[in-house]
Structure 1
């Protein structure tokens, strides 16, 4: 098992460009409470957090009951948007090719660590033909919100990979802080929802084509 290495992927803003459906579902959640939707940059700044924590940031003056209603409205809105069969969350360019390249390596395992729910992740994987691609799938239902390292530690435990042979790929400070707390390497992407200059990763990529080589550099072949 010691020869294995693990590449852990964030989903929203890293693998999938889901900002259109996130903003649309947020608009429905705020509309349900008669509240004004915050600015786009503010909404995208909470991507990666679990929904309860996200609404706590976006609606600090609302009570817990109201925020719980908004979480439910957001989830319902997301499912409604998806049921309309609109392609609102495409994979970023090169994502599938990068996954295929890493999957072809016998010594490389893949995992997901996402603020999405189990239901939400299943829909994304099904939509893009990625069901069964990841050896470990960590979702918000079963963990504290990022940046708590619980998702990464569980993925390491499930795969038997040592921390020094694991790396996290993400687009937010929550991803980077989670990886740092778990004691693994971190790769930032420039195309995501947090400004690249805020990430402070071990390495930064601006194209998925660079991923495999950077993984080799950080955690070995």
Structure 2
């Protein structure tokens, strides 16, 4: 009973893509018929779930797949200018050195993720990338990953910056760490009750070490009782 695989969301969790997304989304607003976002409104949006954000924008649900496709395409042109979240590279290296298998689940394009990782010499630390085009279907990707990698839920933990990341983890019956340095605010994330909620990448190491210790301690107790 040990934690083996740590999976990260990409946008806002590993990569600092927030400003790029806002810029791209605003540039497409007239074409797709939704409201652009000014600086004052951005903070308010951090408290909204993805579903509430769509309602707030008043965009037609039929247009969402086309908007997402364009956003991914436009983001490809900005990849070279994007930076990792501060301290994330150090954290990723430490986790890899501890023997964990590291992966990424994202609704972004795989080419974008690979380019970003290569630009920052992080590609060597990640074992797999799973992508999906659906906005609310990450739980399906998680379940697919668990099946293909033959993993049990307690061997897997997911790290994300949005309320939909937490909800996807819950639907997949895996543990989730919410991070407050991405899109959603700490208040919005806390409402979804993640297993852990952290404010800085350095906290990941402590959280995961303690979680691993508790799993091993529980296993020791089970073995003792069955002896």
TM-score (norm 2): 0.76
1:170–1:189 contact (8 Å) kept in structure 2: yes
RMSD of aligned residue pairs (Cα, Å): 3.0
1:26–1:37 contact (8 Å) kept in structure 2: yes
- CA displacement at 1:174 relative to structure 2: 0.6
Return the structure number with greater helix share: 2
- Written as runs of structure 1 = structure 2, the 5 A alignment for 1:38-187 is 38=37, 39-41=41-43, 57=55, 60=58, 62=60, 64=62, 67=64, 70-82=67-79, 85=80, 87=81, 89-106=82-99, 108-141=100-133, 144-187=134-177
Q: 1:30 aligns to what SS in structure 2?
A: helix
How many residue pairs get aligned? The number is 208
From the CA coordinates, give the structure whose radius of gyration is larger.
Answer: 2
CA distance in 2, matches of 1:123, 1:5: 26
Q: 1:205 aligns with which of 198, 218, 222?
A: 198
CA distance in 2, matches of 1:185, 1:63: 30
Question: What residue is the counterpart of 1:7 in the other structure?
Answer: 6
Identify if the C-alpha distance between structure 1 residues 146 and 183 changes in structure 2 by more than 3 Å, giving closer, same or farther: same
- CA displacement at 1:184 relative to structure 2: 0.9
Identify if the C-alpha distance between structure 1 residues 46 and 126 changes in structure 2 by more than 3 Å, giving closer, same or farther: farther
Structure 1: stretches of 5+ with no match in the other structure: none
Residue 196 in 1 paired to residue 189 in 2?
no
Question: What residue is the counterpart of 2:22 in the other structure?
Answer: 23
- CA displacement at 1:20 relative to structure 2: 1.6
Structure 2: stretches of 5+ with no match in the other structure: 217-227
1:165–1:219 contact (8 Å) kept in structure 2: no
Q: Which deviates more, 31-40 or 19-28?
A: 31-40
CA distance in 1, matches of 2:34, 2:6: 40
